[in-house]
């Protein structure tokens, strides 16, 4: 696999024009005051399907030839990639099968089906979802749409970073930092390529849940580390056990440092997003904001962009987090 | 008082440029499918201070002369106008006193103080807030910033309607209907003036809570009706007991019909906004969407814009509504 370059992200942005939402870069002055810096929140929860994943899926599927689109696609996902692929497949008129853990949030399972995809479930910790998807791909001659370790997926997600550079520029803000929620690293890699090209002075950071900080550990050692122990986490969107090969090659070069955030950090950032930004973030989508609101990244006197990567959360989990960590 | 015209709204839009947020017009394809029509949600919960009220306040205060700004301003409000005025006053460097009911949502009281205003509270049903404000204005030579019955306030709120016409046009949508959350009628009047000028074929509707449907009743009779009975309602932003004089003169001419929505209608629309749009709406801010999602306005095969006018709700109330009416 070859690494995507900035031109691939610019081309993805053209493909996505009129299909993906140019999500707003939100800011709450009263939250800024609490933090002592300026926080710009890229609200990808407002993206079609409630997360950034539509971008990469659409960029990838739109480049399949007519014969491949007719045969169909298959993907595996904890839920956000599932919905992104299902929606992109529908707009691009290709039949989709999605392999999902049976305990994925109900909103993610329901919405994936509502977008018209066929959902195949599996027990989260008892089966290899990638193998299930590869079997389906082979048996039915479908194209696999991988969740992150793919140049077209990375380029599509990178449009988030490209838009942030444009929107910060429109606002006259010079970004000192950007923090990105990180699972397999596709969003981080794509955004990092865009930032490195357009705003080379901005420090790039990842945010992961405690116990699933494989990218942080890999950045610290310079080699891909694997999480062996399964820690319970509400950040279902970020539970990759090791960075992608392609994504880590990029991130190891471009990312400054990684943060691991606790459940309390995440819950507090969800509550702050509710209170000051009036948006719904899922736990995994609130990790980057949590790295800032918890003080793990000190932004006193600085400007920081955080990617709020998704908002697909059942209201029971959402409200449980707000009741525990809201003020 | 003279009625504002379209040129006053255009002038307000110029004054607000770079100060107010051009809030997004959100759309969720899966919600559209449920409803059978196309629903575009003007997300004024994402406006500075969490509601549209900043627009009118900024437009009004920015036109005060230097001496008046130095003496300061006073406003009375259940909470959204309070925050809008407090923020506008801070940016325009004039001291603000805000008269608020003591049982206003905590988030509204706290944020008004956080914007730097002095808050004076009163018992909601035991005192005349307008009289308290007028007394303060007289004693301290402050300018009153009224919540709705004022041409500059109406013109400022009208920029919401102007942006909707622009954003629907950018999206190539021809709007059959628009529904607007209605308290005293300032937002409705301003938006109606903009719509009547730019999209004269669009039917304009108001949405009010059951028991507080004074505008609906007034539209039906052609004269200003007054609510005599105090019905408990979570839509604290919409509890005006009679339409404004100026606002009703405009709305009586331009508005097609009014809807009254129940607490269940509102709770269901808050839950749908959480699930499909990933935004936080306060009960009063969800009333217009509720008129559509409850089927009170049939939009089968039609396109409708709804104004989501605010998102300032304590998480306890928000989560109570979601647990009762979410699915």
Q: Is the pLDDT of residue B163 over 80?
A: yes
Measured between CA atoms, how close is A201 to chain B, in angstroms? 26
Q: What length does chain A have?
A: 327
CA angle centred on A94, ends A93 and A97, rounded to 5°: 135
Contact state of A46 with B33 under an 8 Å Cβ cutoff: no
Of B45, B111, B322, the CB nearest to A315: B322
Distance from the Cα of A219 to chain B's closest Cα (Å) equals 32
For residue A299, CA distances in Å to A267, B3, B192 come to: 20, 47, 43
**Tens-digit pLDDT profile for residues A77-114:** 878 999 999 999 999 999 999 999 998 888 889 999 99
ipTM above 0.90, yes or no: yes
At A125 the pLDDT is 77
- Rounded CA-CA distance B63/B237 in Å is 26
Beta bridge partners of B119: B98
**Does pLDDT of A226 surpass 80?**
yes
Mutate to test the interface with B, among A117, A278, A318 (most CBs of B within 10 A): A278
Question: Does A1 score more than 80 pLDDT?
Answer: no
Mean pLDDT of A173-202: 98
Long-range contact set of residues B222-228: C-beta below 8 Å, sequence gap at least 24: B222/B252, B224/B248
Chain B CB contacts of A270 below 8 Å: none
User: What pLDDT sits at residue A327?
Assistant: 80
**Token digits for B171?**
């999206």
* 0.95 surpassed by pTM: yes
Burial class (CB in 10 A: 0-12, 13-18, 19+), B204: buried
Alpha helices in A18-116 (DSSP H): 29-35, 53-61, 66-71, 80-91, 106-114
- Indicate the pLDDT class of residue A126, thresholds 50, 70 and 90: confident
Q: Do A26 and B46 touch (CB under 8 A)?
A: yes
Of B107, B275, B277, the CB nearest to A275: B107
Residue spans of the domains in chain B: they are 6-51+150-325, 54-144
Structure tokens that stand for A113 in this block: 């089906």
CB B308, CB B289: distance < 8 Å: yes
- The most distant pair of C-alpha atoms in chain B lies apart, rounded to whole Å, by 57
Classify residue B132 by burial, with Cβ atoms within 10 Å: 0-12, 13-18, 19+.
middle
As its CATH architecture, domain B6-51+150-325 has 3-Layer(aba) Sandwich (3.40)
- Name the 3-class secondary structure at A15: helix
Confidence of residue B1 (pLDDT cuts 50, 70, 90): confident
The span from the CA of B170 to the CA of B127, in Å, is 47
Do A168 and A40 form a contact (C-beta atoms < 8 A)?
yes
Q: How many CB pairs under 8 A join A and B?
A: 76
Looking at the structure, give the CATH architecture of the domain made up of residues A6-51+154-325.
Answer: 3-Layer(aba) Sandwich (3.40)
User: Hey, do B6-51+150-325 and B54-144 end up sharing a CATH topology, with the first three levels equal?
Assistant: yes
- Residue with token string 């929140």: A41
Residue B200: phi and psi, rounded to 5, are -65, -15
In this prediction, residue A93 carries a pLDDT of: 97
Q: How far is A19 from chain B (nearest CA, A)?
A: 11
For residue B242, pLDDT beyond 80: yes
At the top level of CATH, the class of B54-144 is alpha beta
Judged against a pLDDT cut of 90, whether residue B270 lies above it is answered with yes
Question: CB count, 10 Å around CB of B220?
Answer: 12
**Which residues lie closer than 8 Å to A273 by C-beta, 6 or more apart?**
A41, A279, A280, A281, A286, A289, A308
A73, β-bridge pairs: A96, A143
- A124 pLDDT band (50/70/90 cuts)? confident
In this structure, of A97-106, A239-248, B305-314, the range with the lowest mean pLDDT score is A97-106
**Would you list the DSSP string of B196-209?**
HHH-TTSEEEEEEE
> Nearest to residue B49, comparing CAs of B74, B20, B92?
B20
């Amino acid at each position: 696999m070859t690494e995507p370059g900035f031109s691939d992200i610019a081309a993805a942005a053209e493909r996505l024009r009129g299909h993906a939402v140019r999500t707003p870069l939100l800011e709450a002055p009263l939250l800024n005051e609490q933090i002592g810096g300026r926080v710009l929140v890229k609200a990808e929860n407002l993206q079609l399907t409630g997360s950034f994943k539509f971008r990469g899926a659409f960029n990838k599927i739109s480049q399949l030839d007519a014969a491949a689109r007719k045969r169909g696609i298959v993907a595996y996902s904890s839920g956000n990639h599932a919905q992104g692929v299902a929606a992109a497949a529908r707009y691009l008129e290709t039949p989709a099968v999605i392999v999902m853990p049976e305990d994925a949030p109900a909103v993610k399972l329901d919405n994936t089906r509502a977008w018209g995809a066929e959902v195949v479930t599996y027990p989260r910790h008892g089966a290899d979802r990638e193998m299930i998807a590869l079997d389906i791909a082979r048996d039915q001659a479908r194209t696999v749409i991988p969740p992150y370790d793919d140049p077209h997926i990375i380029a599509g997600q990178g449009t988030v970073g490209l838009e942030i550079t444009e929107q910060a520029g429109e606002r006259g803000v010079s970004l000192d930092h950007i923090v990105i929620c990180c699972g397999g690293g596709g969003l981080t890699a794509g955004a990092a390529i865009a930032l490195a090209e357009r705003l080379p002075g901005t420090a790039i950071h990842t945010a992961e849940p405690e116990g699933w900080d494989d990218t942080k550990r890999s950045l610290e050692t310079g080699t891909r580390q694997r999480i062996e122990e399964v820690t319970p986490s509400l950040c279902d969107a970020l539970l990759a056990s090791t960075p992608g090969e392609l994504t880590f090659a990029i991130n190891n070069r471009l990312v400054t440092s990684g943060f691991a955030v606790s459940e309390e950090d995440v819950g507090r950032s969800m509550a702050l997003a509710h209170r000051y930004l009036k948006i719904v973030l899922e736990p995994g989508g609130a990790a980057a904001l949590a790295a800032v609101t918890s003080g793990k990244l000190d932004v006193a006197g600085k400007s920081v962009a955080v990617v709020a990567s998704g908002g697909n959360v059942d209201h029971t989990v959402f409200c449980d987090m707000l009741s525990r960590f809201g003020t």
